[in-house]
Amino acid sequence: MENLNKYVEHTLLKQDATKAELIKLFDEAKQYNFLGVCVNPCYVELAKENLKNSDVKIVTVIGFPLGANTTKTKVFETVNAINDGADEIDMVINVTKLKDRENDYIVDEIKQIKHACQGHNLKVIIETDLLDKDEIKLACELCIKGGADFVKTSTGFVKNGVGAKVEDVKLMYDTVNFAGLQVKASGGIRDKEAAIAMIKAGAARLGTSSGIKIVS
């Protein structure tokens, strides 16, 4: 498969990442012409500074990694991130509200955050490791109602979690494709074989810290 680099969001979200590691990430993203980088919100300005004069997208995470912040906090974070120079927003869904079937809460939160994105892409992380198949489908349906642009599998922060699974990506794709939403697979994608399997299942983006290994 060609142009694998244009699926990759080169990701560094670990809490002990150093500035030197982040700058290395940005340099690698430019070198390998990755589609984007994904970093925590406090590093969006650093990314902007290091990626100017390149077409690498700056992606950041909101309500990360638990999704349990108040909607008001997530909206504030989103506005702040866009103002700092983020091109795309990956928000974490409130998994408890989803499991308790507080559907209106989920839809309203997505709508508010999408509005705060000011026209930029919004991806909703549904955390598939914590959901059964019916819950994955429901989460995707609520993302459609909320006006999201993408559904995303995982944060990569669930203890003993697997991350993206081919069958989950396919289920997500089958649920949202008719409505024009896309799928981002993330978590545990560590080689070319896994990357291609995710793309064949319907993923339009790959969130991974193994981008160089995948494209090499």
Using one digit for the tens of pLDDT, what is the confidence trace for 19-77?
Answer: 999 999 999 999 999 999 999 999 999 999 999 999 999 999 999 999 999 999 999 99
What contacts 9, CB < 8 A, 6 or more positions away?
A: 34, 35, 36, 37, 38, 57, 59, 184, 186, 205, 206, 207, 208
Nearest CA-CA partner of 173 in 133, 204, 146, 131: 204
Kindly provide the b/e burial profile for residues 18-55, where b requires at least 16 CB atoms within 10 angstroms of the residue's own CB: eeeebeebbebbbebebbbbbbbbebbebbeebbeeee
Using CA atoms, how far apart are residues 2 and 171, in angstroms rounded to an integer?
25
Whether the CB-CB separation of 153 and 143 falls below 8 Å is answered with no
Q: Give the tens place of pLDDT for each residue, 143-200.
A: 999 999 999 999 999 999 999 999 999 999 999 999 999 999 999 999 999 999 999 9
Q: Which residues are catalytic?
A: 90, 152, 184
Sequence spans of domains, the chain = 4-215
Using CA atoms, how far apart are residues 79 and 110, in angstroms rounded to an integer?
14
Question: pLDDT at residue 1 above 90?
Answer: no
For the record, the structure tokens of 14 come out as 């670990």
Provide the CA 134 distance to its chain's centre, in angstroms: 21
Whether the CB-CB separation of 210 and 177 falls below 8 Å is answered with no
Using CA atoms, how far apart are residues 135 and 139, in angstroms rounded to an integer?
6
Just give the CATH number of 4-215. Answer: 3.20.20.70
- Reported in sequence order, the residue ranges of the chain that DSSP labels E, i.e. its strands, are 8-12, 36-39, 57-62, 88-92, 121-125, 150-152, 182-186, 203-208
> What mean pLDDT do residues 116-134 have?
98
> What mean pLDDT do residues 87-107 have?
98
Using CA atoms, how far apart are residues 135 and 154, in angstroms rounded to an integer?
14
Using CA atoms, how far apart are residues 126 and 204, in angstroms rounded to an integer?
16
pTM of the model: 0.97
Question: pLDDT at residue 2 above 90?
Answer: no
If one counts every other C-beta atom within 10 angstroms of the C-beta of residue 148, the result is: 28
